[in-house]
Amino acid sequence: MAKLIPAAERVVRARKLIQQARDLPVPTTGLGKSDFSYIANVKDLLRQAKDLVKFIPQTAGVSNEMKEEVKKIYSEIEQANREILS
CB 21 within 8 A of CB 33: no
On the question of pLDDT at 59 being above 90, the answer is: no
Question: What's the mean per-residue pLDDT of the chain?
Answer: 91
Is the pLDDT reported for residue 5 higher than 90? no
- Asked if 44 and 17 count as a contact pair (C-beta separation under 8 A), the reply is no
Q: What is the mean pLDDT of residues 47-67?
A: 92
The pLDDT of 24-40, averaged and rounded, is 85
**Whole-number Å distance between alpha carbons of 22 and 40:** 13
The structure's pTM equals: 0.89
| DSSP H stretches of helix in the chain | 7-23, 36-53, 64-85
Q: Residue 2: pLDDT band by 50, 70, 90 thresholds?
A: low
